[in-house]
Amino acid sequence: MVGLKEKKEKEVKATVNRKELINMVSQAKVGAAVRGTLPIVQNVLIDANGKLKVSGFNLEQRVEITDKAQKTVKVLDRAKITEKGSVLVNPKMLLDTLKGLSGDKVQLSTKGNNLVVECGGAQTKFTVVPVDDYPVNPAFEEGYRFTAVDLAEALNKVVQAIATEGSRPVLNAACLTIKEGKCQLAAADGFRLNIADLKVKKLSISIVDTIKDDKPIPALQILVPLGAVRNILKLFANTPEVLVTVSKSKPKEPNFPAEIHQAVFEADGIQLKTMLIQGTYPNFSQLIPTAPEHSCKVSTSELLQAVKLVKGVARDASGIVRLEGGKGKLRIHAKSEVMGATESVIPCRGDIKIAANYRYLEEMLGVLDGESVTLQTSQPSSPILVKEPGLTWVAMPMFVSW
């Protein structure tokens, strides 16, 4: 489906670097709806009213890309707009056409009821339909504003623990909390809890005039939905700093403001605007075990390799992998009535006896930065704790007969 946002007499004319346009449409595509009751939001909007922009909006998230986002493209190769306007186009259809062309430059134009794509000696015409009903993104009233350092890296440490089933909507999100100068990202699915530290700077609050001098600046807590988290990982994977802006609200309590509905993440011409999940997130700090009685320190890479070795059998045994450590050795083993048994032994310091889900262990070990990891617990039936620089991980044990 293709739609023209301007009146028909306002014809769009633009010349764009083909590879640049492919990159822009590919990134904006993550914001467009895949399916739904409104077919019109399955398109991306190409806006030629100034700098060239391509955006996708699925009623919950909007991704907008400008031509300056692609740093590999020379300034002289960026879009040249001779007639301003906007046009809607199905991203898959446009990408298939662009990738099939061989020239460097693409000419976009609207002629009557057609969108024309020209490159070299090739010409493709798409039928244009009105887009008066194309939804407008809700107005954004700025509240909190800060710069997040290595946001994608921190989100990658917690995304694995975000719940995917919908019985508790607040758990279908990553919880970003700023309180007392400390920022953390947390995710929990009822079986495990991941907490990652996030560095922020240049924090400003536009509602500071509503706070008396003797009151602390309100803390911030927002719930970023799983879909937005995945798109942040796609769009900002190699971006060291991301500017985050959260919608304005008046605080009801001294600690957390209420009625926060939207957040914008942007860097280098890439912008993701998303609705936020409303609700109260569990107090995850209370779930972290204190003073575990047993601990076992091992090589991160050796433990990860051992877990991968035994997971074939563990997968057939409800995902259970047993870890027994002591006298300088950690035995990682799994057994199944159908598949048999397998084990691996690696060096360790300390003692421990736990049973855990192999997938939770594998995912946690895969995002750790350090060369070693310390597993902690009080007894086999107690939660398992890993507390390493940048990540705190808590998992419920698997109950087995030893």
Of the two residues 115 and 318, the one the predictor is more confident about is 318
Residue matched to tokens 């990738």:
99
* Nearest to 255, CA basis, from 215, 293, 282: 215
Which of 286, 315, 331 terminates a domain? The answer is 286
- 400 within a domain of the structure (yes/no): no
For residue 77, the model assigns a pLDDT of 56
Number of domains in the chain: 3
Given a cut of 50, whether residue 224 has pLDDT beyond it is yes
pLDDT tens readout for residues 108-167: 998 877 889 999 889 999 876 667 778 876 666 777 889 999 999 999 999 999 999 988
Asked if 184 and 195 touch (Cβ cutoff 8 Å), the reply is yes
Beta pairing, strands 3-4 & 129-130:
parallel
For residue 252, the model assigns a pLDDT of 46
Would you say the pTM of this structure is higher than 0.85? yes
Which of 245, 267, 286 terminates a domain? The answer is 286
Average pLDDT over residues 28-45: 89
Residue matched to tokens 């298939």:
96
**CATH number of the domain enclosing 214:** 3.10.150.10
Range(s) of the domain holding residue 71: 3-130
- 271 within a domain of the structure (yes/no): yes
Say yes or no: 214 and 316 in one domain. no
Say yes or no: 278 and 152 in one domain. yes
Share of the chain above pLDDT 70, in %: 86
Question: What is the pLDDT confidence band of residue 198, given thresholds at 50, 70 and 90?
Answer: very high
- 126 within a domain of the structure (yes/no): yes
The single-letter code of the amino acid at 375 is: L
**How far apart are alpha carbons 385 and 291 in whole angstroms?**
10
Give Dmax over CA atoms of the chain in angstroms.
82
**How far apart are alpha carbons 143 and 219 in whole angstroms?**
12
Say yes or no: 81 and 19 in one domain. yes
For residue 232, the model assigns a pLDDT of 97
Mean pLDDT of the residues in the chain: 87
- H helices present in 293-383, as ranges: 300-314, 358-367
What is the three-state SS of 42-69?
Answer: HCEEEECCCCCEEEEECCCEEEEEEHHH
Which of 77, 99, 130 terminates a domain? The answer is 130
